[in-house]
């Protein structure tokens, strides 16, 4: 017995199955996107993404313009603009951060991004759009969220912004370098995201005279520059962690073993103390031990020359 509709006399339509596939999402085109998002489209048209996408031939990456990154927009349009129906790159988006980042990594997976997965920024749930603004040319390069790399970094790293304003500091605020000159924000094999295999290799890439190798090496120097120096800024000379001679005394407390008076480096002996000692004036220990980073002189075992 054939099934027939009692109302229309025709074949009865099968009930929708709970497992039937949802209709495929379709691309609607950039023109329709721009009709609702005119302001966003105006800003985006000046970006490098827009230039590349508009040059792409049909079928090439980027040829779908807006929908290259946001995905097919048919459901978004049909729902009256529900942001949950596309990939939205905002904190309020239902799209997981990993899904948002995968869209970006689809084109930007090489170069500096090869160490992104597992990096501290990745594990902290940072999305590409937290630092970059692909919809507007806010910065001169890199489509940064803020006008410069440094300002973008400082939005999450205010402590470092304070350090760069100290008396002795790296010339970052003067525009001679940026955070990205020393750190690779997309991931690195070293901590904290350093652009070298070690802190010392990074520092000596600019401070070549401290690189060595030396005939007479100073152990804390060869171990790490950070034993004595702060990397961003300090209120002491030469970004030192503490003032000389007290910095030296952290390791060389038993000075009597090297023919120094045992009480030479005490607070009483500094200028203005109870018993000021001329050997502690000016730069303290490095008045005499001038080659403190290392010496190549045959008689420089104590870094005097």
Long-range contacts from 258-265, C-beta under 8 angstroms, 24+ separation = 258/302
Among 299, 303, 264, 268, which residue's Cα sits nearest to residue 284? 264
- Please count the residues of the chain: 305
3-state secondary structure 152-200: HHHCCCHHHHHHCCCCEECCCCCCCCCHHHHECCCCCCCCCCECCCCHH
Per-residue pLDDT of the chain in tens (305 residues, 90 and over written 9)? 444 433 334 444 445 444 445 567 899 999 999 999 999 999 999 999 999 999 999 888 889 999 999 999 999 999 999 888 999 998 778 889 999 999 999 999 888 899 999 999 999 999 999 999 999 989 988 899 999 999 999 999 999 999 999 999 999 999 999 999 999 999 999 988 999 999 999 999 999 999 999 999 999 999 999 999 999 999 999 999 998 878 888 888 765 445 565 455 566 666 677 777 666 666 678 888 999 999 999 999 999 98
Contact 37, 70 (CB under 8 A): no
| DSSP state for residue 295 in the 8-state scheme | E
Number of H helices, E strands in the chain: 14, 4
């Amino acid at each position: 017995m054939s099934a027939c509709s009692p109302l229309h006399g025709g074949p009865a339509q099968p009930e929708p199955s709970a497992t039937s596939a949802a209709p495929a999402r379709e691309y609607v085109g950039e023109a329709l996107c721009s009709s609702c998002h005119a302001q966003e489209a105006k800003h985006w048209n000046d970006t490098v993404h827009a230039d590349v996408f508009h040059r792409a031939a049909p079928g090439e990456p980027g040829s779908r313009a807006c929908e290259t990154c946001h995905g097919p927009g048919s459901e978004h349009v049909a729902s009256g603009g529900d942001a949950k129906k596309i990939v939205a790159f905002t904190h309020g988006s239902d799209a997981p951060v990993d899904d948002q980042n995968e869209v970006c990594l689809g084109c930007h997976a090489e170069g500096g991004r090869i160490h992104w997965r597992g990096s501290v920024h990745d594990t902290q749930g940072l999305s590409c759009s937290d630092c970059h603004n692909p919809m507007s040319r806010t910065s001169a390069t890199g489509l940064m969220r803020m006008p410069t790399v440094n300002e973008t970094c400082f939005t999450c790293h205010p402590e470092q912004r304070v350090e760069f304003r100290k008396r002795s500091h790296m010339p970052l605020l003067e525009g001679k370098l940026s955070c990205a000159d020393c750190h690779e924000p997309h991931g690195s094999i070293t901590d904290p995201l350093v652009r070298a295999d070690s802190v010392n290799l990074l520092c000596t890439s600019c401070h070549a005279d401290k690189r060595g190798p030396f005939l007479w090496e100073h152990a804390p120097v060869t171990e790490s520059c950070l034993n004595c120096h702060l990397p961003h800024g300090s209120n002491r000379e030469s970004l030192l962690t503490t003032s000389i001679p007290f910095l030296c005394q952290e390791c060389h407390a038993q000075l009597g073993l090297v023919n120094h008076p045992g009480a030479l480096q005490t607070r009483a002996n500094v200028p203005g103390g109870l018993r000021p000692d001329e050997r502690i004036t000016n730069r303290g220990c490095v008045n005499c031990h001038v080659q403190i980073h290392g010496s190549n002189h045959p008689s420089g075992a104590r870094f005097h020359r």
